[in-house]
């Protein structure tokens, strides 16, 4: 935030400027971004949703899953966080988390005692941590599932939590019962679980690389179609055998794990004391979809990944902030997006070129979205 946004080209602009926008060309029968634009206008949009941390995907997913990228609860309290992706992912398995090669490390950021608040990366650790996550505080009989393209991905947050992964050792596999019961390595299985009325109480859904929105990735513009397929599956699912109607009982939070290096003019919140050394990052989109979210609703509160965790706690009767990580530091719980005193809105299908049947029948081998 040092004035880069005020720098002009002074004539011929570079081919890769710091300011870019995504064009919206027609691909197939629809414009690429139309599903996102439809969802953002038909439901709720967070105008000030910030990435809780300043780093790339590995620490970001740790925050989305458990509220911190700190190795332990004590480290979180002292402001020590895993701040980067893996270093040394060049071993025999090229994996992250507790099953990474023994030579793999992740940098730690420590508070800088001298102003301005800017962390210092001066040590690293094997990327296998242990602290509570959202699944640990869900009351029985609530269930969870984490859909992801691969076991060792930097986006597969449970692989770095030792009591969930319970690895056979560096370079091995995750064998914990929580892992085996709840981590699904085929993202499209979420669509099958919706159809079979087997959706868990809380689900994290990570796209395969071909359905990612990573800039410059060799994807097939599948991201907006993938998201639309999930929303349409929930919205159109017939009543389950137990009478449950998913559209009346489900909220979908659509967000991106990090800001991707693109400039934003809105200064992130600086948290007090040492926590400000690593938090927050720039804004990321957040679209909130539910039968109780008013059309064209725009929230101007300042949200972050911890706000999503606080909503989960609030929704299931867990004291907000119980993890004592980002969920405690966040100041919102996203309840402003819901008007629960009104009847559920009828679902309207989101137009897209690809539907659930396409993704369920897609035989492309799932890949990780990217390496950053």
- Inside any domain, residue 8: no
Is 35 within 8 Å of 228 (Cβ atoms)? Answer: yes
Q: Is residue 15 part of a domain?
A: no
Per-residue pLDDT, 144: 98
R_g over Cα of the chain:
20
**Residue 10: inside a domain:** no
pLDDT tens column, 254-288: 999 998 877 788 999 888 877 888 889 999 999 99
**Average pLDDT score, the chain:** 91
* Residue-range definition of the domain harbouring residue 288: 26-361
Residue 298 lies in a domain: yes
Give the pLDDT confidence of 67-124 residue by residue, as tens digits: 999 999 999 999 999 999 988 654 445 799 999 999 999 999 998 777 665 677 778 9
> In what order do the strands lie in the sheet containing 202-205?
183-184, 144-147, 202-205
Q: Residue 87: what pLDDT?
A: 81
In a domain, 311, yes or no: yes
Q: How many domains does the chain have?
A: 1
Q: Report pTM.
A: 0.93
Q: Is the residue at 11 inside a domain?
A: no
Phi and psi, residue 64, nearest 5°: -65, -30
CATH number at residue 333: 3.40.720
265 forms beta bridges with none
Residue 118, domain member (yes or no):
yes
Q: Is residue 14 domain-resident?
A: no
CA distances from 191 to 88, 198, 207, 360 (A): 35, 10, 12, 7
On the question of pLDDT at 31 being above 50, the answer is: yes
Per-residue confidence band for 220, with pLDDT thresholds at 50, 70 and 90:
low
Which pLDDT tens digit goes with each residue over 146-200?
999 999 999 999 999 999 999 999 999 999 999 999 999 999 999 999 999 999 9
Question: CA-CA distance, 181 to 183, in Å (whole number)?
Answer: 6
* Res. 325 pLDDT band, cuts 50 70 90: very high
Angle at which helix 222-236 crosses helix 34-42, to 10 degrees, equals: 40
Task: State the alpha helices, DSSP H only, in 237-354.
Answer: 246-249, 305-315, 326-329
Report the percentage of the chain scoring pLDDT > 90: 73
């Amino acid at each position: 935030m040092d004035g880069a946004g005020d720098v002009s080209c002074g004539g011929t602009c570079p081919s890769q400027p710091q300011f870019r926008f995504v064009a919206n060309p027609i691909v197939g029968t629809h414009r690429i971004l139309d599903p996102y634009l439809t969802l953002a206008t038909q439901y709720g949009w967070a105008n000030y949703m910030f990435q809780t941390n300043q780093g790339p995907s590995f620490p970001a997913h740790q925050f989305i899953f458990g509220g911190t990228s700190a190795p332990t609860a004590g480290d979180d309290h002292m402001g020590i966080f895993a701040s980067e992706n893996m270093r040394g992912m060049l071993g025999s398995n090229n994996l992250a988390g507790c099953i990474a090669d023994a030579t793999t490390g992740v940098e730690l950021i420590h508070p800088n005692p001298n102003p301005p608040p800017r962390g210092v990366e001066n040590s690293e650790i094997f990327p296998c941590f242990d602290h509570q996550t959202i699944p640990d505080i869900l009351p029985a009989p609530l269930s969870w599932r984490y859909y992801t393209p691969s076991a060792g991905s930097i986006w597969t947050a449970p692989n770095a939590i030792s009591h969930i992964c319970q690895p056979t050792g560096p370079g091995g596999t995750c064998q914990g019962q929580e892992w085996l019961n709840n981590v699904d390595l085929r993202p499209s299985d979420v669509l099958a679980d919706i159809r079979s009325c087997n959706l868990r109480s809380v689900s994290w859904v990570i796209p395969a690389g071909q359905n990612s929105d990573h800039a410059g990735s060799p994807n097939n513009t599948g991201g907006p179609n993938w998201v639309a397929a999930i929303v349409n599956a929930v919205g159109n699912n017939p009543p389950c055998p137990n009478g449950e109607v998913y559209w009346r009982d489900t909220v979908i939070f659509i967000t991106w794990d990090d800001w991707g290096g693109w400039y934003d003019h809105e200064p992130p919140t600086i948290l007090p004391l040492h926590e400000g050394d690593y938090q927050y990052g720039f804004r990321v989109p957040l679209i909130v979809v539910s039968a109780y979210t008013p059309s064209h609703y725009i929230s101007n509160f300042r949200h972050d990944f911890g706000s999503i965790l606080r909503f989960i706690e609030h929704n299931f009767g867990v004291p907000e902030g119980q993890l004592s990580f980002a969920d405690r530091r966040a100041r919102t719980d996203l309840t402003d997006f819901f008007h629960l005193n009104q009847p559920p809105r009828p679902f309207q299908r989101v137009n897209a070129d690809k539907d659930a049947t396409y993704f369920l029948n897609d035989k492309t081998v799932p890949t990780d979205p990217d390496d950053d």
